[in-house]
Amino acid sequence: MALHAWIPNAGVNAGSLLQTLLPWTGLCVPVLLVLAAVRRSRTAAVAVLAPAVVWVTLFGGALTDKRSEGVGGGDLTVVSHNVGEGNTDPAGTARVLAAAGADVLALEELSDASAAVYSRELAAAYPHHAVIGGVGLWSRHPLADVKAVPIMPWTRALRATALTPDGPVAVYAVHLASVRVSAAGFTTGRRNDAARELAAALRAEPAPRVVVLGDFNGTYQDGALDPVTSQLRSAQREAGDGLGFTWPAPFPMVRIDDVLVRGMTARAAWTLPATGSDHLPVAATLSR
C-alpha cells in the first residue's frame, strides 16, 4: 500500500491495477487480525497496526464529510454521468438527472437515439446543449466555443465555454477509452494515450476556470492518469463525503467517474441515485 506508486506498469500494468483497487487493500487488516487471533499471537496483532496505519493515512481523510455547504451554496453545480450504451430507460435517467437541479450536465456514452431522447427530456430545464460523437453537454447557461477535443480517432471529448452569471467557465465532457482485465493483464494503452492527449489540451487551455467532467476509466490514484490529474483537483477528494465509488452501479467498487477542477473551489461532491446505467452519476457544487 505504501509503495503503490513504485510498482511498475511494464507488461501487465500491475501498478495501475493495484492503484485502481487501492482502497480495497484495507480488507487485509481484518483478515490479518483474524489470523492473529487464531494464532493467539500478540506480536502478530501488533504487526497488523502497520497496514492499518498506512491505509488510514491514505484514505482516512476520505471517510470524513468535507462538504462545506451540504449540497449547495456554490456558484455552479455540475453533474456527470456515463448514461450507459445499454440503458433501456434514457427518459427515466434524464428525469433523475434533471431532478438534481444542476446548472450543467455532462453525459457520456451517448448513441444517436439516446441523445435525441435526452435532448427532448432535458429541453425544458436545459435550453442550451451540444452533442459531438458520444459525449454531450446540457446547460442552463449559454454555451459558446463548442468544439471536439481530439483525444482518440473518434470523438470522446468536447469542450465548451459556459457563460454563467459569474463569468465564463471552460467545461469539458470526457470519456476516456475503456480498460480490460484479461490474460494479457490490465490493458490500458488506449486510455493512457487518450489521457495524454487530454492533458495536452488542458495545458493549452487559456481559461482561468476549468471543469472536466467524465468517465476516466481510471481512478484519481492511478499514476498513469497523472498527466491529467496533476493539472486538476478532484472535487470528491476536496469536498466529498466518503470514497464516492461509482462503478458498477449495483455494488460500486471504484470511482472512475469524477469532477476535476482548476481555478475553482469544490464546496460539495456526492453521487446521485442509480439510473438505468451501470455507472452512478457524480455531482459537485463549485465556487469561484
Q: How far apart are CA 238 and CA 260, in angstroms?
A: 10
Domains of the chain with bracketed CATH: 4-63 (no CATH), 76-287 (3.60.10.10)
pLDDT of residue 122: 98
pLDDT of residue 69: 55
pLDDT of residue 206: 97
pLDDT, tens digit, 9 for 90 and up, residues 48-99: 999 999 999 999 888 888 888 545 556 999 999 999 999 999 999 999 999 9
- pTM of the full structure: 0.92
pLDDT of residue 71: 54
pLDDT of residue 181: 82
Give the chain's residues under pLDDT 70.
69-74, 183
